[in-house]
Amino acid sequence: MEYAKLLQEYGPAQSEAQVAEEVARLGEIAVRNRTTEVYTFCYSAIDLTTLSCTDSVESVTELARKAVEFYERFPHIPNVASICIYPPFVETVGVAVDGTDMRITSVAGGFPSSQTFLEVKALEVGMAIENGADEIDIVLNVGKMLTGHYDEAASEVETIRAETDRDVVLKVIIESGALRTPELIRRASLLSMLAGADFVKTSTGKIDVAATPEAAVVMCRAIRDYFEKSGRRVGFKAAGGVRTPEDAALYYTIVEEILGPDWLTTDLFRIGASSAANNLLTAIEGHPVKFF
């Protein structure tokens, strides 16, 4: 498909100055969302993540065990949306969470650089799904985006989407910190959606610049514009650097203001986090909580 031509149907991104102005405005509004109710929802939208070179069957099992224990320890708080791990640990998590409604997310497709053969990417995604992953997070080829090879970047997503069942949620990470400009962030978001993404996600968390409110504003505007043309709702995921309850409330506000209340469900809004989980629990409970 000639994706670059499809981009012509959409207007340009806001300027950096316009984005900064909107972020400032939304930051002021976000104060109203620093509430227990919003923090509780944000906790339920977390993809509880461990993506370290030190991960092991033992450490991942312990994280999953704690997530399952949460149901009994905090029955008044909806549990996290999913556990996010590398592909070899999908079965490990599956065994640990069996009998619960916990979803399993796996990064795949050459995460975090996306620099491998497309066949390898598709195979890794397929193996993660075969082992029990409900959701897959892949990385858009940033090198191709930076050099203007938009059709090639989007076609990779299309190929991987074709290899997955429709009930598997596909999140595409655009690595917004590497793209830097509002225009490239907008194009990457639109290309991902046009190629079949169910979510667009800010970051891998593996480079210096992760999720930013500025990138979130641009991405959510692209999601809105895509919905207005296609009628298909695509979700937004902020990941990398989301640590405090105030961070979570700001991203919640960006989604609320740009996309509206229909997007404030865990089917369309996620937060990729590890440290944020305890910090949100502390805010919800009103005293220090170090559960994970």
Parse the chain into domains and list their residue ranges.
3-285
Please give the Cα distance from 163 to 117 (Å, whole number).
15
From 228, 190, 227, select the one nearest 4 (Cα to Cα).
Answer: 190
* Per-residue pLDDT, 274: 84
Write down the number of H helices and E strands in the chain. 13, 8
* Annotation marks residue 201 as catalytic: yes
pLDDT digits (tens, 9 = 90+) for 18-61: 999 999 999 999 999 999 999 999 999 999 999 999 999 999 99
* Regions of the chain where pLDDT drops below 50: none
Backbone phi, psi, residue 10, to 5°: -115, 145
Are 270 and 237 in contact by the 8 Å Cβ rule? The answer is yes
> What's the pLDDT score for residue 281?
98
At 129 the pLDDT is: 98
Please state, in angstroms and rounded to a whole number, the distance separating the CA atoms of residues 11 and 85: 36
Query: Does 75 sit behind a cis peptide bond, omega within 30 degrees of 0 on the bond before it?
Result: no
- CA distances to 38, 176, 239, 253, 290 from 24, in Å: 20, 19, 20, 12, 32
Return d(Cα 225, Cα 191) in angstroms, integer. 12
**Residue at token pair 């989980």:** 277
Question: Which one is catalytic: 137, 151, 198, 247?
Answer: 137
Q: Is 137 designated active site?
A: yes
Q: What residues are paired with 106 via a beta bridge?
A: 85, 136
Cα separation, 281 vs 161, in Å, equals 35
> pTM score > 0.95 for this model?
yes
The arrangement of secondary structure in 3-285, i.e. its CATH architecture, is Alpha-Beta Barrel (3.20)
Q: Which member of 121, 144, 171, 201 is catalytic? A: 201
- What span, in angstroms and rounded, lies between the C-alpha atoms of 255 and 232? 16
223 and 199 Cβ atoms separated by less than 8 Å: no
Residue pair 214/23 in contact by the 8 Å Cβ criterion: yes
206: annotated active-site residue: no
Tens digit of each residue's pLDDT (9 = 90 or more) over 75-111: 999 999 999 999 999 999 999 999 999 999 999 999 9
Q: How far apart are CA 203 and CA 89, in angstroms?
A: 21
Euclidean distance between CA atoms 80 and 103, whole angstroms: 9
pLDDT at 163: 87
